[in-house]
Amino acid sequence: MGFFTKDIKTMTDLFMHGLQDLFYAENQIAKSLPDMIEKATNPQLRAGFEKHLKETEGQISRLEQVFELLDAEAKGEKCPAIDGILKEGSELMGEIADEDVMNVGLVAAAQAVEHYEMTRYGALIAWASELGRGDCVPLLKASLAEEKATDQKLTALAERRVNPEGEKKSGNGKKPAKRAASTARRTRKAQARPAKAKRNGGKKARRRA
């Protein structure tokens, strides 16, 4: 960006800048994921990262398709936000020795990345629509859906699987107590059902009589 001139003058410029920014971000994420895969010892987390690496490669190619639709060269613009998020994540990983704690830290670091991506895709979809570039929208929406799904899976892992505190809770915590109560309710209902059927059967029998 020039000192005396501002490079982003129009919404089209802003859209292009956003695409270049995200193109850079996705490429940096693709470079970081192998390291996260290596550090993840939880099998589901590891498999999730492996899947998302493949998705990220697909997202890079979708962005290339968007550039193509716009007759523009696919190139990245250095994005300090994603550099900072990834740097903070890798620094944190360097501070953790315990495997369980590492898995929890990896989930949180990955969610910071997903949330960043979701805001960027959301903005680009809105701007593409505003600029009458509906042809770009499905490509951007497909990637946004993958980021959201990844974020949801990470939340589920954080709550139920990866978090060692959560695992402990499953032995004597609040949630299992709730589950036990609902199982007891289901059992009572199931026990009540034959009696109801019997009553209905009785009515039918009376009607038939």
Residue placing its CB nearer to Fe ion in the complex, 118 or 166: 118
Listed ranges 75-83, 100-108, 112-120, 169-177: which one lies at the site for Fe ion (CB under 5 A): 112-120
Residue placing its CB nearer to Fe ion in the complex, 93 or 166: 93
Give per-residue burial for 165-196: e unless 16+ CB within 10 Å, then b: ebeebeeeeeeeeeeeeeeeeeeeeeeeeeee
* Min dist. Cβ of residue 151 to Fe ion (A): 8
Listed ranges 30-38, 52-60, 133-141, 183-191: which one lies at the site for Fe ion (CB under 5 A): 52-60
Listed ranges 109-117, 124-132, 172-180, 192-200: which one lies at the site for Fe ion (CB under 5 A): 109-117
Examine residue 147 and tell whether it contacts Fe ion (CB under 5 A): yes
Residue placing its CB nearer to Fe ion in the complex, 28 or 59: 59
Evaluate whether 102 touches 96 at the Cβ level (below 8 Å).
yes
Q: Which of 20, 27, 42, 59 binds Fe ion (CB under 5 A)?
A: 59
Distance, in Å, from the CA atom of 56 to the CA atom of 62, rounded to the nearest integer, reads 10
Distance, in Å, from the CA atom of 162 to the CA atom of 54, rounded to the nearest integer, reads 22
Distance, in Å, from the CA atom of 109 to the CA atom of 29, rounded to the nearest integer, reads 12
- C-alpha radius of gyration, the chain, whole number: 25
Q: Which of residues 12-31 bind Fe ion (CB under 5 A)?
A: 26
* Min dist. Cβ of residue 166 to Fe ion (A): 23
Residue 167, both tokens: 């695992």
Q: Which of residues 70-89 bind Fe ion (CB under 5 A)?
A: none
Residue 72 DSSP symbol: -
Q: Which residues bind Fe ion (CB under 5 A)?
A: 26, 56, 59, 114, 117, 147
